[in-house]
């Protein structure tokens, strides 16, 4: 799929998350966290490919460190998703409520933005973090990481989408742009 098709797919499936209850959002976040832990060996294998390719390409040590996932880094990602469960869902929060001088009641209420796009470099942890933030805020997400973390990102997205699907929810509000060209960004 090209970038436009990926974005359209996210938009077409945005209602799957926008109208989800807070309880269901938390179930999705918990399932995503469990899936990352339960599939960490698959994620670490994919990440190992990315790291090997980056080393072969001569990337510097700092870059390699940012790219590298470890057991403890995956545990940190999982902890972040679990912490999101404890936060109050912002959807429906009334930010302001007043009556205008014409007698019209005006309410400013938080709603999902729709589709959020993330373009980021070789930090595969951002993939799960972005998904988590978008789930909690009721937004579809289009992820576009760098070519250096493509295998890691693919695996993380696959694992999380499979977990969401197993709960009986539509996971297609999560989309990954696999075209890593500059033109695609």
Q: Which residues contact 175 (CB under 8 A, 6 or more apart)?
A: 6, 7, 9, 10, 140, 141, 142, 143
Percent of the chain with pLDDT over 90: 94
pLDDT band at 51, cuts 50/70/90?
very high
Contact present, 125 and 76 (Cβ < 8 Å): yes
- Tell me the per-residue pLDDT of 108-149, one tens digit each, with 9 for 90 and over: 999 999 999 999 998 999 999 999 999 999 999 999 999 999
What's the CA gap between 131 and 34, in Å, rounded?
14
Q: Which residue has the tokens 């980021």?
A: 120
Contact present, 117 and 7 (Cβ < 8 Å): yes
Beta bridge partners of 15: none
Alpha helices in 57-184 (DSSP H): 61-67, 71-86, 125-137, 150-166
Rounded to two decimals, the pTM is 0.93
Contact present, 114 and 141 (Cβ < 8 Å): no
Beta bridge partners of 176: 143
pLDDT of residue 179 exceeding 80, the answer is yes
Contact present, 171 and 143 (Cβ < 8 Å): no
What's the CA gap between 9 and 173, in Å, rounded?
7
Of residues 173, 118, 115, the one with CA closest to residue 149: 118
Q: Indicate the helix (H) or strand (E) that contains 52.
A: helix 40-56
Tokens matching residue 110: 């938080």
- Tell me the per-residue pLDDT of 80-117, one tens digit each, with 9 for 90 and over: 999 999 999 999 999 999 999 999 999 999 999 999 99
């Amino acid at each position: 799929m090209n970038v436009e098709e990926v974005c359209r797919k996210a938009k077409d499936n945005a209602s799957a998350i926008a109208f989800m209850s807070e309880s269901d959002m938390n179930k999705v976040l918990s399932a995503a966290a469990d899936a990352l832990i339960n599939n960490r060996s698959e994620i670490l294998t994919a990440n190992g490919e990315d790291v090997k390719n980056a080393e072969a390409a001569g990337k510097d040590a700092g870059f390699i460190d940012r790219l590298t996932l470890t057991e403890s880094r995956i545990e940190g990602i999982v902890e972040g998703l679990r912490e999101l469960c404890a936060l109050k869902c912002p959807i429906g929060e009334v930010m302001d409520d007043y009556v205008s001088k014409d007698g019209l009641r005006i309410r400013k209420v938080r709603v999902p933005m729709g589709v959020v796009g993330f373009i980021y470099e070789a930090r595969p942890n951002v993939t799960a973090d972005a998904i988590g933030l978008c789930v909690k805020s009721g937004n579809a997400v289009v992820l576009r990481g760098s070519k250096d973390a493509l295998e890691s990102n693919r695996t993380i997205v696959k694992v999380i989408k499979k977990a969401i699907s197993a709960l009986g929810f539509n996971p297609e509000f999560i989309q990954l742009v696999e075209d890593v060209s500059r033109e695609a960004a």
